[in-house]
Amino acid sequence: MFFLDYKSKLHRIFIHILFWFSYVSFFSALVAVNMDISFFKIFLRTFYTLPVDIFATYVTLYFLLPKFFIVKKYLWFAVLFVLLAFVTIFLNQVISIYVYVPIYFPEHVAEISFSNFDMYVTLASTYLIVVFAAGIKLAKLWLKEQKDKARLESEHIQSELALLKSQLNPHFIFNTLNNIDALIQIDPEKASQSIMQLSDIMRYVTYEATADFVPVEKEINYLKGFVELQKLRFADDFVKLDIAIEHPGKMIAPMLFIPLVENAIKHGEKKGNVPAVHVEVEIDQKIHFKVQNYVSIIPLNKDKYSGIGLKNLKRRLELLYSERHSLETSIVDQKFVAELWIH
């Protein structure tokens, strides 16, 4: 009810009781100023209609608001809100005719009826508190939404940094440098090209990939450079890369493809069929990325860092593309297939 996070169910009940007690006290004090009746008597009389106020308030807060207003079903909300108003008028009249007036004004019992009431006063007595409580509820939901957005933004930054660190890991750099070192005597020109490719990758990861979104061409170039460096460890036909771009200039969050390719290279069967890893990228109205690798017959031992890249990828997709992505994995014909769609 208030702008508080409830610590327990009992704490929640206490806060709500305190709210209604404060409401009754304030209303009684306000009426007592203008009437020749003591605060205590008005305080006691207010409890006769309090159940109707509570009923109307909680139906609005926990049914009408979440089921209709918040999800933008405004017409249904308006219809049911008006219907609730008629129900509260009826309940208030029942209490007035059969309880309140007979107890405090028995001489006027014969004068009252269901049709004899001031609709505006009756509604105001209940709906002032309903609107007030609804305002608090909506404000609280808005504050929670802002807090969640701030938390998600913080998680996004932390997840992205963790992903970048995991992608440019020391093992990848050391293995690449060792392979280049072996090439220097055998093929100096290829070794030089490999150094430039590694330099481009490190430059991309360090400077450009820190942006929220980059042109898809840059991400593809990074992917190509990564694949080329993998060929230093394996045969030239170990990885096959097929790329079709119909909409150049499309923006994408950086480093979404590499975790899937790394996973395929690390856990796939490295002997036998070639290409061992097949990567397909299609860029049109949507982005489609698919990677396939033969499943290793011998189970591989997973280190403690195994799965970090994929875990970070899934989290980033949830944060950046929410309802606009799909990531599916399957095993078809002894191939592990991972497919990513981004709309």
With beta carbons less than 8 A apart as the criterion, state whether 2 and 19 touch: yes
Residue with tokens 């990677």: 291
With beta carbons less than 8 A apart as the criterion, state whether 203 and 196 touch: no
Q: Which two tokens stand for residue 287?
A: 């982005």
Which amino acid is it at 105?
F
Exposure string of 15-39, with b = 16+ CB inside 10 Å and e = fewer, is ebeebbeebbeebbeeebeeeeeee
pLDDT tens-digit map of 17-56? 898 898 888 888 887 777 777 788 888 888 888 889 999 9
Give residue limits of the domains in the chain: 9-148, 168-342
Q: Where are the alpha helices (DSSP H) in the chain?
A: 9-34, 39-59, 74-95, 101-104, 119-167, 170-186, 188-203, 216-230, 258-267, 308-321
pLDDT tens-digit map of 236-250? 888 899 999 887 888
pLDDT on residue 57: 92
pLDDT tens-digit map of 187-245? 888 888 888 888 888 888 777 777 778 899 999 998 998 888 888 778 788 889 999 98
**306 three-class SS:** coil
Maximum pairwise Cα distance, the chain: 115
pLDDT on residue 161: 53
Q: Where are the alpha helices (DSSP H) in 60-113?
A: 74-95, 101-104
- 168-342 classified as CATH 3.30.565.10: yes
* Over residues 55-72, mean pLDDT: 90
Burial of 326 (0-12, 13-18, 19+ CB in 10 A): middle
pLDDT of 307 over the 70 cut: no
